[in-house]
Structure 1
């Protein structure tokens, strides 16, 4: 498969070989190159029910009353998502009109769960794998990891895992003297529990794409940042080990690599992104919050170009363009 970041990563090497000076593999260059050569971006061959607008509107009308007794910093959303951690994307650039296919995509999957407040306070992420003690954990005990690590045969969120994590969260809020309202979707793995300092509020069925803050761009932002690190790792090692292909290097990515990469990606999601995603889900808009500056990434570059898509934070759109060479809505999703 061929993606935008792959082309931008390799273009300077070709420019150097061709003695092309002052070359910059920008998004503008990429778009012009694709247009000149008639190249498009598409899915290689190889959750949501229908959203009812009136249900969403009715829910949005009830939100202010649900939230009125809670400070914005005490209103949380939690959701999990699958991460096919040894795959890149399911889309590739190809010449228009030609059929194409890629190699077999890796199905190795982890479940990653994210939780934050509507003012941007982030809880440590939950990672669910298949093995209790992966080989890569030999020198790093699970208790020292920066995430909550769980396991089961299918690497899925289960009711017991959710209950264990939620009770830990409730004890933490109790110690801090916080009374919290937690919004969740109606997944079978999210049982209804009675807790001391955390009240659960479940979203209506088939509305998460509109009503769940995590689905308005927060999880996608984490995945895009993770993919950036994954691709940087592949290219760096392809340079060092010329005999190894990208697919061979993907197979060498360990669960421990993923944990550190996705944790770093979560750390880099800005407060502003989270606040805007809660607002996009029609939650009460909090007062001014102190925005956390994004931690710099040595490989990040500022682009002069502006990319606009409705209801999606600009940071997410720019990252999607940089990583995939396409807008947020067209970027590959797990």
Structure 2
């Protein structure tokens, strides 16, 4: 039947194309549902397996099975035999310094035999000890007990050092009590902006005294003529001075010394004839002298003049204080003890004295303090004790030369009386002059190189370079 003009007749090709598209869409939807169902099934299986594993672990733990039970936390041994003491670590560092070619594995074996350990320390342990060698340098004859196993850093170390410095100076001049230490501490806290960060309780005072070797002196100690620390009775009838009882007879090598046989720590107000008579009991190699000098390491020669003009010209110059010590026959030229006002970089802080050739400490004004001097004196005494030597040390009566609570087992100090002047000080007889002369020669050599290179500041030198000279 012929179609009329108004009758719609669909195109067969378009109709088949539309049916094909609908069929494809239906197939895709069916496949998607099938994939989702499979994923849900797999997820359910995984969850079931995890639940079964947890249940089996719980059952194994309750039955005491070692295979699946949780590993117990590692605990320290009750007797502490798993840790080296601070003194043993110090001796390991000393062995490493004195034997540069020794390996860390050899050090582990040496420590096992030397300290009679059940097991040798591991190589990572030895590496960590040597990395923190600077922490064990000053653990000698003083504040830290020889059996202590850890060193906890002091909070606000600068405050602690300033207060300790004040206590040492005060002990040398007059009386001091625990209440006075607390009062001075509160004063320093305000000056340093540390309000609210420190509490001056009896516990804090006890820790401070233990940290710096202070103790309560009994009447017997006050009558002991060999004690050089002065003090007066506090509210409890005691004064603070002397050294900590627990460490009075301990040497770095673990040897014990009867305090009654310890050398007199200091001889003062001796005449020149008396000093000469006393030195006859010592061979030249056992007679030491110590002194310090200021070094303006960037100063040009025209500023190194005498008189008041020099003081104003050198006021802004970079400064170091250098402590030198040597014995009478020059067989032991000790490493310089350098004091600066710049915090050393990490490579300097971590390096050993044998690597640097000097010992560096930081002080706000780059000058010698009582605290720093006593650190050096403890090191010096420990060095003599390790070598089983009894020596005499000559020094002047500078304000920083205060023995305070330092225990000296192998060193007798002779302090020159003020009326003897500087002429009797061996260091002033040309040693310090020769030391500075050698430094100036190297400084001028560098200045000439800078001049040839066209540099404007020919006398500039870094502090690290100056210390290495």
TM-score range, shorter chain: 0.5 to 0.7
The whole-number CA distance in structure 1 between the counterparts of 2:296 and 2:367 is: 12
The 3 A distance-change label for structure 1 pair 88 and 164 is same
Q: Which residue of 1 aligns with 2:462?
A: 254
Structure 1 counterpart of 2:442: 229
Q: Does residue 81 of structure 1 match 2:290?
A: no
- Which structure has more strand as a fraction of its residues? 1
Question: 1:71 Cα deviation (Å)?
Answer: 1.5
The 1:91/1:194 distance shift into structure 2, 3 A limit, reads: same
Q: Check if 1:62 corresponds to 2:274.
A: yes
Corresponding position: 1:202 with 2:202: no
Within-5 A mapping of 1:211-230: 211-230=424-443
Counterpart secondary structure, 1:256: helix
1:80 to 1:92, Cα distance in 2 relative to 1, 3 A: closer
Match of 1:188 in 2: 399
Q: Which has the higher helix share?
A: 2
CA contact (8 A) 1:183 1:201 kept: yes
SS of 1:115's equivalent in the other structure is strand
Partner of 2:328 in structure 1?
A: 118
Q: TM-score, normalised by structure 1?
A: 0.52
After the TM superposition, which segments of 4 or more aligned residues of structure 1 sit over 3 Å from their partners?
90-93, 103-106, 137-144
Post-superposition shift, 1:90?
Answer: 4.0
8 Å Cα contact 1:73-1:119 kept in structure 2:
yes
- Give secondary structure in 2 for the equivalent of 1:131: coil
Deviation at 1:138, TM superposition (A): 5.1
8 Å CA contact 2:320–2:339 kept in 1: the answer is: yes
Q: CA RMSD in A?
A: 2.6
Counterparts of 2:433 and 2:324, CA distance in 1? 11
Match 2:389 to one of 178, 198, 208: 178
Aligned CA distance change for structure 1 residues 110 and 221 (closer, same or farther; 3 Å) = same
User: Of 353, 360, 367, which aligns to 1:149?
Assistant: 360
Are 1:168 and 2:376 counterparts?
Answer: no
TM-score (norm 2): 0.38
Give the Cα separation in 2 of the matches to 1:217 and 1:132.
31
Question: Larger deviation: 168-177 or 137-146?
Answer: 137-146
Shift of 1:190: 0.9
**Partners of 1:140 and 1:159 in 2: how far apart?**
22
**Where does structure 1 lack aligned partners over 5 or more consecutive residues?**
1-57, 94-99, 262-334
SS at match of 1:250: coil
Q: 1:216 to 1:92 in 2, by over 3 A?
A: closer
Judging changes above 3 Å, is the alpha-carbon distance between structure 1 residues 178 and 145 closer, same or farther for their aligned structure 2 residues? same
Flag the 1:207–1:64 CA change in 2: closer, same or farther, 3 A: closer
Is the partner of 2:361 in helix, strand or coil?
strand
**3-state SS of the aligned residue for 1:222?**
helix
- Find the residue that maps to 1:232 and give its secondary structure: helix
Conservation of the 8 A alpha-carbon contact between 1:74 and 1:181: yes
Name whichever of 176-185 and 199-208 sits farther off.
199-208
Give me the whole-angstrom Cα distance separating, in 2, the residues matched to 1:180 and 1:138: 34
SS of the equivalent of 1:223 reads helix
Which structure has the higher relative contact order (CA within 8 Å, separation 6+)? 1
Question: Which whole-Å CA distance do the structure 2 matches of 1:224 and 1:188 have between them?
Answer: 26
Q: Cα deviation per residue 1:121-177 (whole Å; 9 max; x = unaligned)?
A: 21111000002225xx65784434210111110011111111111111111111111
1:170-197 per-position Cα deviation (integer Å, ceiling 9, x unaligned): 1111111110100111011111243010
CA shift in 2, pair 1:104/1:197, >3 Å:
closer
**2:319 match:** 109
Cα distance, 1:89 vs structure 2: 2.6
Secondary structure of the 1:172 match is: helix
Counterpart of 1:249 in 2: which secondary structure? coil
Structure number with larger C-alpha Rg: 2
Change in CA separation of 1:112 and 1:167 when aligned onto 2, cut-off 3 Å:
same
Partner SS state of residue 301, structure 2: coil
Cα distance in structure 2, aligned partners of 1:148 and 1:259? 10
Question: Are the aligned partners of 2:446 and 2:459 in contact in 1 as well (CA < 8 Å)?
Answer: no
